[in-house]
Structure 1
Amino acid sequence: MYHLTLPEVITHSSVSVEKKNAEYLKLKENKKGVLNLASQIYNYDFFWKCLTPEPKHRDRIPNDLVTSLTTYFGSVEQFKQAFATVATNHFGSGWLVYVRLVWLTWNKKEGKLQLFEGHDAENPLQHELVPLLTIDVWEHAYYLDYKNERAKFIDKFWNFVNWSFVASNLRSTTKGPQKEL
Protein backbone atom coordinates (compact mmCIF):
# COMPACT_ATOMS: atom_id res chain seq x y z
CA MET A 1 0.00 0.00 0.00
CA TYR A 2 2.86 2.41 0.75
CA HIS A 3 4.28 2.23 -2.75
CA LEU A 4 1.12 3.86 -4.12
CA THR A 5 0.32 7.55 -4.39
CA LEU A 6 -2.82 8.84 -2.71
CA PRO A 7 -4.74 9.08 -6.03
CA GLU A 8 -3.77 5.45 -6.77
CA VAL A 9 -4.99 4.32 -3.36
CA ILE A 10 -8.30 6.08 -3.89
CA THR A 11 -8.64 4.57 -7.38
CA HIS A 12 -7.71 1.08 -6.23
CA SER A 13 -10.00 1.25 -3.20
CA SER A 14 -13.00 1.21 -5.55
CA VAL A 15 -11.81 -1.76 -7.64
CA SER A 16 -13.80 -5.00 -7.29
CA VAL A 17 -12.89 -7.35 -4.44
CA GLU A 18 -11.65 -10.03 -6.86
CA LYS A 19 -8.88 -7.75 -8.09
CA LYS A 20 -7.70 -6.57 -4.71
CA ASN A 21 -5.03 -7.91 -2.49
CA ALA A 22 -5.58 -7.98 1.27
CA GLU A 23 -4.39 -4.39 1.75
CA TYR A 24 -6.82 -3.01 -0.80
CA LEU A 25 -9.62 -5.04 0.72
CA LYS A 26 -8.91 -3.41 4.06
CA LEU A 27 -9.16 -0.01 2.40
CA LYS A 28 -12.55 -0.88 0.91
CA GLU A 29 -13.87 -2.05 4.25
CA ASN A 30 -12.44 0.88 6.11
CA LYS A 31 -11.80 4.18 4.32
CA LYS A 32 -9.70 5.24 7.31
CA GLY A 33 -6.69 3.97 5.37
CA VAL A 34 -7.24 6.66 2.75
CA LEU A 35 -7.61 9.30 5.47
CA ASN A 36 -4.40 8.13 7.15
CA LEU A 37 -2.45 8.31 3.88
CA ALA A 38 -3.86 11.74 3.08
CA SER A 39 -3.01 12.94 6.59
CA GLN A 40 0.53 11.67 6.34
CA ILE A 41 1.02 13.40 3.00
CA TYR A 42 -0.36 16.63 4.49
CA ASN A 43 1.76 16.30 7.66
CA TYR A 44 5.01 15.78 5.77
CA ASP A 45 4.27 18.50 3.24
CA PHE A 46 3.54 20.92 6.07
CA PHE A 47 6.64 19.83 8.03
CA TRP A 48 8.96 20.56 5.10
CA LYS A 49 7.36 23.98 4.59
CA CYS A 50 8.17 24.77 8.23
CA LEU A 51 11.88 24.46 7.44
CA THR A 52 14.19 26.62 5.36
CA PRO A 53 17.91 27.00 4.70
CA GLU A 54 17.33 30.72 3.94
CA PRO A 55 18.64 32.98 6.74
CA LYS A 56 16.17 35.77 5.88
CA HIS A 57 13.26 33.50 6.86
CA ARG A 58 14.78 31.75 9.86
CA ASP A 59 16.98 34.34 11.57
CA ARG A 60 14.30 36.93 12.30
CA ILE A 61 10.94 36.14 13.82
CA PRO A 62 8.28 38.59 12.55
CA ASN A 63 7.12 41.03 15.24
CA ASP A 64 3.48 39.94 15.18
CA LEU A 65 4.54 36.34 15.79
CA VAL A 66 6.86 37.41 18.64
CA THR A 67 3.93 39.29 20.19
CA SER A 68 1.61 36.29 19.88
CA LEU A 69 4.14 33.80 21.25
CA THR A 70 4.88 36.15 24.15
CA THR A 71 1.18 36.62 24.88
CA TYR A 72 0.42 32.90 25.05
CA PHE A 73 3.72 31.42 26.28
CA GLY A 74 5.45 34.27 28.15
CA SER A 75 8.29 34.72 25.63
CA VAL A 76 9.67 33.20 22.45
CA GLU A 77 12.19 31.24 24.53
CA GLN A 78 9.44 29.91 26.81
CA PHE A 79 7.47 28.85 23.74
CA LYS A 80 10.52 27.02 22.36
CA GLN A 81 11.04 25.31 25.71
CA ALA A 82 7.38 24.24 25.95
CA PHE A 83 7.42 22.99 22.35
CA ALA A 84 10.73 21.15 22.89
CA THR A 85 9.48 19.56 26.12
CA VAL A 86 6.38 18.14 24.45
CA ALA A 87 8.42 16.97 21.45
CA THR A 88 11.16 15.40 23.60
CA ASN A 89 8.74 13.62 25.93
CA HIS A 90 6.44 12.30 23.20
CA PHE A 91 6.26 8.58 23.95
CA GLY A 92 6.12 5.56 21.70
CA SER A 93 7.44 3.90 18.60
CA GLY A 94 5.98 2.33 15.50
CA TRP A 95 6.29 1.67 11.80
CA LEU A 96 5.88 3.68 8.62
CA VAL A 97 2.24 4.41 9.28
CA TYR A 98 2.98 5.68 12.76
CA VAL A 99 3.96 9.30 12.31
CA ARG A 100 4.34 11.46 15.35
CA LEU A 101 4.20 15.19 15.19
CA VAL A 102 4.01 18.07 17.60
CA TRP A 103 2.28 21.20 16.37
CA LEU A 104 1.88 24.85 17.29
CA THR A 105 -1.74 25.63 16.42
CA TRP A 106 -4.36 28.37 16.55
CA ASN A 107 -7.49 27.15 18.34
CA LYS A 108 -10.38 28.85 16.54
CA LYS A 109 -12.96 27.90 19.18
CA GLU A 110 -10.95 29.12 22.15
CA GLY A 111 -9.14 31.94 20.33
CA LYS A 112 -5.62 31.07 21.44
CA LEU A 113 -2.31 29.55 20.45
CA GLN A 114 -1.73 26.07 21.80
CA LEU A 115 0.48 23.04 21.39
CA PHE A 116 -1.07 19.91 19.89
CA GLU A 117 0.49 16.46 20.14
CA GLY A 118 -0.63 14.15 17.34
CA HIS A 119 -0.34 10.37 17.13
CA ASP A 120 -0.38 8.07 14.12
CA ALA A 121 -1.42 10.13 11.10
CA GLU A 122 -3.42 12.56 13.21
CA ASN A 123 -3.19 16.24 12.41
CA PRO A 124 -4.70 19.39 13.91
CA LEU A 125 -7.21 19.88 11.10
CA GLN A 126 -9.10 16.87 12.44
CA HIS A 127 -9.67 18.86 15.64
CA GLU A 128 -10.54 22.19 14.00
CA LEU A 129 -7.13 23.62 14.86
CA VAL A 130 -5.15 25.74 12.41
CA PRO A 131 -1.59 24.38 12.00
CA LEU A 132 1.18 26.94 12.29
CA LEU A 133 4.39 24.95 12.92
CA THR A 134 5.23 21.27 13.30
CA ILE A 135 8.12 18.92 13.96
CA ASP A 136 8.31 15.24 13.10
CA VAL A 137 9.61 13.40 16.17
CA TRP A 138 9.45 9.90 14.75
CA GLU A 139 12.86 8.21 14.84
CA HIS A 140 13.34 8.18 11.07
CA ALA A 141 13.42 11.99 11.17
CA TYR A 142 16.54 12.15 13.30
CA TYR A 143 18.10 8.74 13.99
CA LEU A 144 20.80 8.78 11.31
CA ASP A 145 22.25 12.04 12.62
CA TYR A 146 21.36 11.96 16.32
CA LYS A 147 20.77 8.26 17.15
CA ASN A 148 18.37 8.14 20.11
CA GLU A 149 19.10 11.71 21.20
CA ARG A 150 15.85 13.34 20.10
CA ALA A 151 16.53 16.43 22.21
CA LYS A 152 19.62 17.26 20.10
CA PHE A 153 17.52 17.01 16.92
CA ILE A 154 14.90 19.33 18.42
CA ASP A 155 17.60 21.79 19.50
CA LYS A 156 18.96 21.92 15.91
CA PHE A 157 15.41 22.19 14.51
CA TRP A 158 15.22 25.82 15.69
CA ASN A 159 18.12 26.70 13.37
CA PHE A 160 15.95 25.90 10.35
CA VAL A 161 12.44 27.05 11.28
CA ASN A 162 10.85 29.15 8.56
CA TRP A 163 9.42 31.84 10.83
CA SER A 164 7.99 33.71 7.82
CA PHE A 165 5.90 30.63 7.01
CA VAL A 166 4.75 30.30 10.64
CA ALA A 167 3.79 33.98 10.79
CA SER A 168 1.97 33.73 7.47
CA ASN A 169 -0.02 30.78 8.79
CA LEU A 170 -0.96 32.78 11.87
CA ARG A 171 -1.99 35.80 9.80
CA SER A 172 -4.17 33.60 7.59
CA THR A 173 -6.36 32.54 10.51
CA THR A 174 -9.76 34.15 10.34
CA LYS A 175 -9.57 35.16 13.99
CA GLY A 176 -5.88 35.20 14.86
CA PRO A 177 -4.30 36.77 17.92
CA GLN A 178 -2.92 39.69 15.92
CA LYS A 179 -6.51 40.98 15.68
CA GLU A 180 -7.07 40.68 19.42
CA LEU A 181 -3.87 42.31 20.65
Structure 2
Amino acid sequence: MPPLPYAYNALEPIISADSLRIHHDILHKNYVDGLNRAELNLVDARRDNNFELIKYWENELAYNGSGHILHSIFWAVMSPVGKGGEPGNITLSEIINYFGSFDAFKEQFSNAANKIEGSYWAILTWQPTWHRLEILQAEKHQNKTQWSGIPILVLDVWEHAYYLDYKTHRDEYIQKWWQLVNWEEVESRLKLAMNGEVKLTI
Protein backbone atom coordinates (compact mmCIF):
# COMPACT_ATOMS: atom_id res chain seq x y z
CA MET A 1 0.00 0.00 0.00
CA PRO A 2 1.87 3.12 -1.15
CA PRO A 3 1.77 6.07 1.25
CA LEU A 4 0.54 9.48 0.13
CA PRO A 5 3.26 11.86 -1.11
CA TYR A 6 1.84 14.65 1.07
CA ALA A 7 0.00 15.22 4.36
CA TYR A 8 -3.70 14.46 4.63
CA ASN A 9 -4.55 18.16 4.84
CA ALA A 10 -2.25 19.17 1.98
CA LEU A 11 -5.02 19.33 -0.62
CA GLU A 12 -7.37 21.50 1.43
CA PRO A 13 -9.61 23.33 0.79
CA ILE A 14 -10.21 21.43 -2.48
CA ILE A 15 -10.16 17.97 -0.86
CA SER A 16 -10.55 17.73 2.90
CA ALA A 17 -8.27 15.74 5.18
CA ASP A 18 -11.20 13.54 6.25
CA SER A 19 -12.14 12.74 2.67
CA LEU A 20 -8.53 11.99 1.72
CA ARG A 21 -7.96 9.78 4.76
CA ILE A 22 -11.06 7.68 4.04
CA HIS A 23 -10.35 7.49 0.32
CA HIS A 24 -6.70 6.49 0.67
CA ASP A 25 -6.48 4.55 3.92
CA ILE A 26 -9.71 2.57 3.61
CA LEU A 27 -10.98 2.50 0.03
CA HIS A 28 -7.65 2.31 -1.80
CA LYS A 29 -6.43 -0.27 0.70
CA ASN A 30 -9.48 -2.40 -0.14
CA TYR A 31 -8.29 -2.59 -3.75
CA VAL A 32 -4.79 -3.55 -2.68
CA ASP A 33 -6.16 -6.27 -0.39
CA GLY A 34 -8.50 -7.50 -3.13
CA LEU A 35 -5.66 -7.63 -5.64
CA ASN A 36 -3.45 -9.61 -3.27
CA ARG A 37 -6.31 -11.99 -2.50
CA ALA A 38 -6.94 -12.60 -6.20
CA GLU A 39 -3.26 -13.20 -6.92
CA LEU A 40 -2.97 -15.73 -4.08
CA ASN A 41 -6.10 -17.59 -5.13
CA LEU A 42 -4.81 -17.81 -8.70
CA VAL A 43 -1.57 -19.27 -7.34
CA ASP A 44 -3.67 -21.93 -5.59
CA ALA A 45 -5.69 -22.57 -8.75
CA ARG A 46 -2.54 -23.18 -10.81
CA ARG A 47 -1.02 -25.38 -8.12
CA ASP A 48 -4.15 -27.50 -7.73
CA ASN A 49 -5.10 -27.35 -11.43
CA ASN A 50 -8.56 -26.25 -10.26
CA PHE A 51 -9.97 -23.43 -12.37
CA GLU A 52 -13.60 -23.74 -11.38
CA LEU A 53 -13.59 -20.16 -10.03
CA ILE A 54 -11.33 -18.70 -12.74
CA LYS A 55 -14.00 -16.26 -13.97
CA TYR A 56 -14.47 -14.80 -10.50
CA TRP A 57 -10.78 -14.44 -9.67
CA GLU A 58 -9.86 -13.01 -13.07
CA ASN A 59 -12.57 -10.38 -12.60
CA GLU A 60 -11.25 -9.60 -9.13
CA LEU A 61 -7.74 -9.33 -10.59
CA ALA A 62 -8.87 -6.84 -13.25
CA TYR A 63 -11.11 -4.79 -10.95
CA ASN A 64 -8.81 -4.49 -7.94
CA GLY A 65 -5.59 -4.29 -9.94
CA SER A 66 -6.95 -1.46 -12.06
CA GLY A 67 -8.30 0.27 -8.97
CA HIS A 68 -4.90 0.12 -7.32
CA ILE A 69 -3.07 1.40 -10.40
CA LEU A 70 -5.45 4.29 -11.07
CA HIS A 71 -5.55 5.39 -7.43
CA SER A 72 -1.75 5.33 -7.23
CA ILE A 73 -1.59 7.63 -10.25
CA PHE A 74 -4.41 9.82 -8.88
CA TRP A 75 -2.48 10.59 -5.68
CA ALA A 76 0.71 11.25 -7.61
CA VAL A 77 -0.74 13.73 -10.11
CA MET A 78 -2.08 16.01 -7.37
CA SER A 79 -0.23 18.52 -5.22
CA PRO A 80 -1.16 21.36 -2.87
CA VAL A 81 -2.84 24.35 -4.52
CA GLY A 82 -0.30 26.45 -6.38
CA LYS A 83 2.46 23.83 -6.16
CA GLY A 84 1.83 21.89 -9.38
CA GLY A 85 3.40 24.34 -11.81
CA GLU A 86 2.27 24.76 -15.41
CA PRO A 87 1.93 22.13 -18.15
CA GLY A 88 5.41 21.12 -19.31
CA ASN A 89 6.66 21.81 -22.82
CA ILE A 90 6.11 18.27 -24.07
CA THR A 91 2.71 17.94 -22.40
CA LEU A 92 1.50 21.28 -23.76
CA SER A 93 2.84 20.53 -27.24
CA GLU A 94 1.09 17.15 -27.39
CA ILE A 95 -2.14 18.62 -26.04
CA ILE A 96 -2.18 21.40 -28.64
CA ASN A 97 -1.16 18.96 -31.38
CA TYR A 98 -4.21 16.77 -30.84
CA PHE A 99 -6.84 18.84 -29.03
CA GLY A 100 -6.10 22.17 -30.72
CA SER A 101 -5.61 24.16 -27.52
CA PHE A 102 -5.20 23.65 -23.80
CA ASP A 103 -8.66 25.10 -23.17
CA ALA A 104 -10.23 22.63 -25.61
CA PHE A 105 -8.45 19.75 -23.87
CA LYS A 106 -9.56 20.97 -20.44
CA GLU A 107 -13.17 21.31 -21.57
CA GLN A 108 -13.25 17.82 -23.10
CA PHE A 109 -11.61 16.24 -20.05
CA SER A 110 -13.94 18.06 -17.63
CA ASN A 111 -17.02 17.08 -19.62
CA ALA A 112 -15.84 13.47 -19.88
CA ALA A 113 -15.54 13.45 -16.09
CA ASN A 114 -18.83 15.21 -15.40
CA LYS A 115 -21.17 13.55 -17.88
CA ILE A 116 -20.37 9.91 -17.39
CA GLU A 117 -22.93 7.80 -15.57
CA GLY A 118 -22.23 5.99 -12.34
CA SER A 119 -18.75 5.17 -11.01
CA TYR A 120 -16.07 6.22 -13.42
CA TRP A 121 -12.72 7.82 -14.08
CA ALA A 122 -11.65 10.40 -16.62
CA ILE A 123 -8.24 9.46 -17.96
CA LEU A 124 -5.71 11.17 -20.21
CA THR A 125 -3.62 8.46 -21.80
CA TRP A 126 -0.63 8.31 -24.09
CA GLN A 127 -1.64 5.90 -26.83
CA PRO A 128 1.49 4.33 -28.40
CA THR A 129 -0.64 2.84 -31.18
CA TRP A 130 -1.64 6.31 -32.41
CA HIS A 131 1.44 8.15 -31.07
CA ARG A 132 -0.76 10.77 -29.42
CA LEU A 133 -2.80 11.60 -26.36
CA GLU A 134 -6.38 10.41 -25.86
CA ILE A 135 -9.10 11.13 -23.28
CA LEU A 136 -11.02 8.08 -22.10
CA GLN A 137 -13.67 7.22 -19.54
CA ALA A 138 -13.20 4.11 -17.41
CA GLU A 139 -16.08 2.27 -15.79
CA LYS A 140 -15.42 0.26 -12.63
CA HIS A 141 -11.69 0.94 -13.11
CA GLN A 142 -11.17 -1.61 -15.87
CA ASN A 143 -14.02 -1.22 -18.39
CA LYS A 144 -14.14 1.04 -21.45
CA THR A 145 -10.38 1.02 -21.78
CA GLN A 146 -8.31 1.23 -24.95
CA TRP A 147 -5.61 -1.41 -25.00
CA SER A 148 -1.96 -0.26 -24.85
CA GLY A 149 -2.89 3.19 -23.58
CA ILE A 150 -0.73 4.44 -20.70
CA PRO A 151 -2.49 6.66 -18.11
CA ILE A 152 -0.88 10.08 -17.71
CA LEU A 153 -3.49 12.09 -15.81
CA VAL A 154 -6.50 10.58 -14.01
CA LEU A 155 -9.47 12.02 -12.16
CA ASP A 156 -11.54 9.86 -9.82
CA VAL A 157 -15.24 10.76 -10.10
CA TRP A 158 -16.62 7.90 -8.04
CA GLU A 159 -18.87 9.43 -5.39
CA HIS A 160 -16.46 8.43 -2.63
CA ALA A 161 -13.90 10.82 -4.13
CA TYR A 162 -15.98 13.96 -3.67
CA TYR A 163 -19.31 13.35 -1.89
CA LEU A 164 -18.08 14.18 1.61
CA ASP A 165 -16.91 17.61 0.43
CA TYR A 166 -19.25 18.42 -2.47
CA LYS A 167 -22.34 16.21 -2.03
CA THR A 168 -24.02 15.98 -5.47
CA HIS A 169 -22.02 18.83 -6.99
CA ARG A 170 -19.62 16.76 -9.06
CA ASP A 171 -19.09 19.62 -11.51
CA GLU A 172 -17.80 21.90 -8.73
CA TYR A 173 -15.37 19.21 -7.57
CA ILE A 174 -14.07 18.78 -11.13
CA GLN A 175 -13.52 22.49 -11.73
CA LYS A 176 -11.71 22.99 -8.42
CA TRP A 177 -9.64 19.83 -8.93
CA TRP A 178 -7.71 21.50 -11.76
CA GLN A 179 -6.03 23.65 -9.10
CA LEU A 180 -4.44 20.49 -7.68
CA VAL A 181 -2.94 19.04 -10.87
CA ASN A 182 0.79 18.41 -10.52
CA TRP A 183 1.90 19.21 -14.06
CA GLU A 184 5.52 18.34 -13.35
CA GLU A 185 4.41 14.81 -12.48
CA VAL A 186 2.23 14.65 -15.60
CA GLU A 187 5.18 15.72 -17.75
CA SER A 188 7.38 13.07 -16.14
CA ARG A 189 4.80 10.36 -16.81
CA LEU A 190 4.30 11.47 -20.39
CA LYS A 191 8.03 11.36 -21.13
CA LEU A 192 8.22 7.82 -19.80
CA ALA A 193 5.07 6.75 -21.63
CA MET A 194 6.42 8.03 -24.93
CA ASN A 195 9.28 5.58 -24.40
CA GLY A 196 6.91 2.75 -23.50
CA GLU A 197 7.54 3.00 -19.76
CA VAL A 198 5.02 3.23 -16.93
CA LYS A 199 5.61 5.01 -13.64
CA LEU A 200 3.39 3.64 -10.86
CA THR A 201 5.02 4.23 -7.51
CA ILE A 202 4.29 7.46 -5.66
TM range (shorter): 0.7 to 0.9
Secondary structure at the aligned position of 1:101 is classed as strand
Cα offset for 1:10?
2.3
Residue 64 of structure 1 is aligned with which of 90, 97, 100? 90
Cα offset for 1:34?
1.9
**What letter corresponds to residue 161 of structure 1 in structure 2?**
V
Q: For residues 118-149 of structure 1, what are the alpha-carbon distances to aligned partners after superposition, in whole Å with 9 as ceiling and x for unaligned?
A: 11121788610011100001111111111111
Residue 141 of structure 2 is aligned with which of 121, 125, 128? 121
Alpha-carbon distance in 2 for matches of 1:54, 1:106: 25
Contact map agreement 1:51 1:162 (CA 8 A) in 2: yes
Kindly tell me: are residues 103 and 4 of structure 1, through their superposed partners in 2, closer, same or farther at Cα, counting changes over 3 Å? closer
Cα offset for 1:30?
3.9
Moved more, 157-166 or 5-14: 5-14
Q: For residues 80-99 of structure 1, what are the alpha-carbon distances to aligned partners after superposition, in whole Å with 9 as ceiling and x for unaligned?
A: 11100111101125xxxxxx
Which residue in the other structure is 1:10 paired with? 39
Residue 37 of structure 1 is aligned with which of 42, 56, 64? 64
Find out whether 1:158 has 2:187 as its counterpart.
Answer: no
Unaligned 5+ runs, structure 1: 17-24, 94-99, 177-181
Identity of aligned residues (%): 31
Kindly tell me: are residues 124 and 44 of structure 1, through their superposed partners in 2, closer, same or farther at Cα, counting changes over 3 Å? farther
Q: TM-score, normalised by structure 2?
A: 0.69
**What letter corresponds to residue 104 of structure 2 in structure 1?**
Q
Q: Which protein has the larger Cα radius of gyration, Structure 1 or Structure 2?
A: 1
Kindly tell me: are residues 43 and 4 of structure 1, through their superposed partners in 2, closer, same or farther at Cα, counting changes over 3 Å? closer
Q: For residues 20-77 of structure 1, what are the alpha-carbon distances to aligned partners after superposition, in whole Å with 9 as ceiling and x for unaligned?
A: xxxxx85675422122111111111111111111634x13222222222111112212
Which residue in the other structure is 1:73 paired with? 99
Secondary structure at the aligned position of 2:164 is classed as helix
Unaligned 5+ runs, structure 2: 1-29, 46-51, 197-202
